[in-house]
Amino acid sequence: MSRIVTVQSNFTSGEIDPKINARIDLQQYYNALETAQNVTIQPQGGIQRRDGSEYIAEISVSASSPKFKMIHFEFSVDDSYMLVMTEQKMHVFKNGAQITNINGSGNAFLAISALSNDYVDTLNFTQAADSLILTHPDMHPQFIQRGASDSTWTVTNLSFDYVPKFAYTLNIDEPQFTITPSDVTGNITFTASARTNDNGTAQAGTSTTITLKSATNYTSDDQCAGLHIEITAGTGSGQVRHITDYTASTKVATVYPAFTTTPDNTSQYKVSAFGQDSVDEYIVAKNGFGRARITEFVSDSVVKAITEIPFFDTDAMTSGNWELEYGYEDVWSDTRGWPRSCVFHEGRLFLGGSKSRPSTLWGSRVADFFNFDFGEQLDDAALEATLDTGKFNAIVDLYSGRNLQVFSTGGEFYIPQTLGDPITPSTLSVKEQTSNGVKPGIPVVNIDGSTLFVQRQGKTLSEFLFNDSVAGYVSTRISLLASHLLKTPSALAVRKATSTDEGDRVLIVNDDDGSIACFTLLRSEQIVAPSEWTTDGLYVEVGVDISDVYTVVKRTINSATKYYVERFVEGLNTDAAKHETVGGSTASVSSLTYLEGKTLDVLRDGVVESDKTVSSGAISFTTAATSSFEVGLPFTSTIKTLPFEGRLPSGPTRSFKKRILSITADLYETQALTIDGEAVTFDKDANDVITPYTGFKRKGSLLGYNKDATITITQSEPLDMTILSLDYEVSTGQ
């Protein structure tokens, strides 16, 4: 038998996938754990009990399966909020408290009638100054503004100055009349001549046709091509339509689009070269020199337009030498759907992936965020690009970093900018970099220039990072060694480190079991340390307000389902806690109806009292509190080491029988600890408060041989625990 003394000096690999338990060739194996539950890993290598949470408010819901979305909104240096979106409501939280009486309504929420429960969890959003924009492909974008105080908020449908057009049903005619441009480029006018007009009372009509008067001027089938017909009086008055076909023998004109109100023999009409519906139609010279979008109807024979391609000259364009393109309509509408994603980038508002055009990206005019007019395609004009790569790329998120990054269900893209030059219509190019695909509804986040995203199937957490050696972006799987912690992820947030005692934390909520996968990252040291958080209930949403981590938790209270907003607080060791600094003697705690019937951990003046069960919204202390108290739901921190591997010169010892003879834990300010089921003793002061201990605690001799030689450490008391390393002596042999 061999006797080996070894040390696990750090835990910077966190909990790793059970499928990697045989990879004793990896250095990460010797810094990893089989289980790391309700703990966080410090960048220095230690592992500590996670923070507990404080109860803030209950969210009342009406849906049987309510959805939630947490959005951080930073109004100023001193005013930062966590907004919680639910069905038709926005709840506002600041500094760990809910803002009530919104707009003097007496309600603790802002009503958002357009926000269906089905939209909430897949909302996308972006902020500029005092305004927040919410997007969803089935919802008109919502424009939210904070007013003069914490409780003053407004919401309206986002008003666009100009919506880009798209010909979902493109029609092209060769009008049988001559037009003349006033100039070759810029803002110009077109004047129609040599046309045949007509007016009178219709004989009859259907939803798509109108029978002109019997004495109409149109005696041949081609005379009406490209003309407009307006119902000027009678049934259907005010409607303007294109004539797409005409049969002279029956006087029947076919129109586009269909009439909203069917005309009849009382309908009076007029036929002309141009109509009110000419706006956003295109005049195109067939020789390839000239294309212009009609911007204003002036009269039956005159329209104004803006050129997209200059015309060759100002000569009259006769019938057969030009075309009229129509069928263009607003690319976003209740009929065609709305943008899925949004972001502000370099003076433009970018919108991506509408319901009807899921792979298209639009950028507004510079410093004119709600104007998407392409105009003459000058440098400050609006712009558009479609992700055409031979596969389906529905844009689900956008990120403004060193470049504009575009994330779709099919891959990850960016817009190159040479030497920091701005994005313009003439330089716009969207380049695919990697092809993982991104899961809709989970926002991309950024840490130190690395954009993190959850892969489309929800199996991996990846980073999208610019690599100078390849002059492009590459993707790396952050969760490669711990993908088992991702179980149908539904939400993601990042808490950036605020001190050297912590790393950046990526928090991912899992739908399968309501856990949170917490990845502690320190890029400079290449540390990726995952752990898992659980509670008496299910986490359903997570958000970060600067350094405060908020969560929505589904809890069962007296057989009823409740949804609570809670905030993780450093120094707390229970969940849904109520805690106070006491200024006098307090024998009980009331206002605990939100935990009615639950058995709570009790920490009174630093002393752990016996568990108490909430009755009639209150509990009583065994001894009155005089300085402080914390009461809340218990949770257990658990770590379990990987099977021991001694790395002997003679070879691996994985299959050998082993016995752990002793364990020495290097602790930092720890008050409670259980090693392999045996409680470690700690000193108490004169008031029975356990003194935080820093140094070594040893347990042994432990009995029993097995092939794993793992160590399990738990901490169920509402007290602090930090483990810096583990030394253990192992006896092993065949």
Same domain, residue pair 28 and 175 = no
Residue partners of 107: CB distance under 8 A and separation at least 6: 100, 101
Tokens of 523: 């890029």
Same domain, residue pair 623 and 723 = no
On whether residue 374 sits in a domain, the answer given is no
On whether residue 460 sits in a domain, the answer given is no
In the DSSP assignment, the letter for residue 140 is E
pLDDT at 734: 59
Residue 145 scores a pLDDT above 90: yes
pLDDT in tens, 270-302: 999 999 989 999 999 998 789 999 999 999 999
Same domain, residue pair 212 and 306 = yes
Residue predicted with more confidence, 142 or 195: 142
CA dihedral 350, 354, 357, 363 (to 10 degrees): -10
Domain end position, chosen among 330, 361, 389: 330
Question: What element of type H or E holds 322?
Answer: strand 322-330
Strand 14-15 vs strand 32-37: parallel, antiparallel, or unpaired?
Answer: parallel
Residue reference for tokens 């379990």: 640
pLDDT in tens, 22-33: 888 888 999 999
Classify 266 in phi/psi space as left (phi over 0), alpha (psi -120 to 50) or beta. Answer: alpha
The side-by-side arrangement of strands in the sheet containing 404-408 is: 395-400, 404-408, 412-415, 431-434
- What's the mean pLDDT when you consider all of the chain? 93
pLDDT band at 703 (very low <50, low <70, confident <90, very high): low
Measured CA angle at 405 (ends 492, 425), to 5 deg: 150
Domain end position, chosen among 330, 358, 379: 330
Q: Which of 261-270, 410-419, 504-513 shows the lowest per-residue confidence on average (mean pLDDT)?
A: 410-419
Closest CA to 601 of 450, 718, 451, 477: 718
Measured CA angle at 424 (ends 164, 471), to 5 deg: 125
pLDDT band at 498 (very low <50, low <70, confident <90, very high): confident
> What is d(CA 599, CA 715) in angstroms, rounded to the nearest whole number?
18
Residue predicted with more confidence, 215 or 5: 215
pLDDT at 438: 96
pLDDT in tens, 515-530: 999 999 988 788 899 9
Same domain, residue pair 706 and 615 = no
The reply to whether the predicted model has a pTM over 0.75 is yes
pLDDT band at 388 (very low <50, low <70, confident <90, very high): confident
Residue 720 scores a pLDDT above 60: yes
Residue 129 scores a pLDDT above 90: no
pLDDT in tens, 606-627: 999 999 999 999 999 999 999 9
pLDDT at 524: 78
Strand 204-205 vs strand 209-211: parallel, antiparallel, or unpaired?
Answer: antiparallel
> What is d(CA 106, CA 330) in angstroms, rounded to the nearest whole number?
39
Dihedral (CA of 319, 320, 322, 328) sign: positive
On whether residue 126 sits in a domain, the answer given is no
**Average pLDDT score over residue span 667-688:** 94
On whether residue 594 sits in a domain, the answer given is yes
> What is d(CA 495, CA 505) in angstroms, rounded to the nearest whole number?
5
Closest CA to 616 of 592, 645, 634: 592
In the DSSP assignment, the letter for residue 586 is E
pLDDT at 709: 84
Contact present, 703 and 663 (Cβ < 8 Å): no
Same domain, residue pair 600 and 652 = no
Q: How many domains does the chain have?
A: 3
Residue reference for tokens 């076919």: 254
Strand 628-633 vs strand 575-581: parallel, antiparallel, or unpaired?
Answer: antiparallel
Same domain, residue pair 322 and 182 = yes
pLDDT in tens, 641-660: 998 887 777 677 777 888 88
Cis amide bond preceding 257, omega within 30 = yes
On whether residue 337 sits in a domain, the answer given is no
pLDDT at 470: 86
Same domain, residue pair 171 and 269 = yes
> What is d(CA 439, CA 458) in angstroms, rounded to the nearest whole number?
6
pLDDT at 1: 57
Same domain, residue pair 199 and 326 = yes
End-to-end, the C-alpha distance of the chain in Å comes to: 7
In the DSSP assignment, the letter for residue 215 is T
Same domain, residue pair 681 and 579 = no
pLDDT at 732: 81
Same domain, residue pair 589 and 698 = no
Residue predicted with more confidence, 180 or 78: 180
**Average pLDDT score over residue span 93-115:** 97
Residue reference for tokens 């639009």: 362
The side-by-side arrangement of strands in the sheet containing 348-354 is: 339-345, 348-354, 360-363, 383-386
Q: What percent of the chain has pLDDT over 90?
A: 81
pLDDT in tens, 542-566: 999 999 999 999 999 999 999 999 9
pLDDT at 390: 82
On whether residue 54 sits in a domain, the answer given is no
Domain end position, chosen among 315, 330, 345: 330
Same domain, residue pair 641 and 622 = no
Dihedral (CA of 674, 679, 681, 686) sign: positive
On whether residue 148 sits in a domain, the answer given is no
Measured CA angle at 116 (ends 113, 120), to 5 deg: 115
Same domain, residue pair 660 and 579 = no
Cis amide bond preceding 267, omega within 30 = no
On whether residue 268 sits in a domain, the answer given is yes
Which residue range is the domain that position 696 belongs to? 2-49+637-733
Contact present, 604 and 621 (Cβ < 8 Å): yes
Residue 401 scores a pLDDT above 70: yes
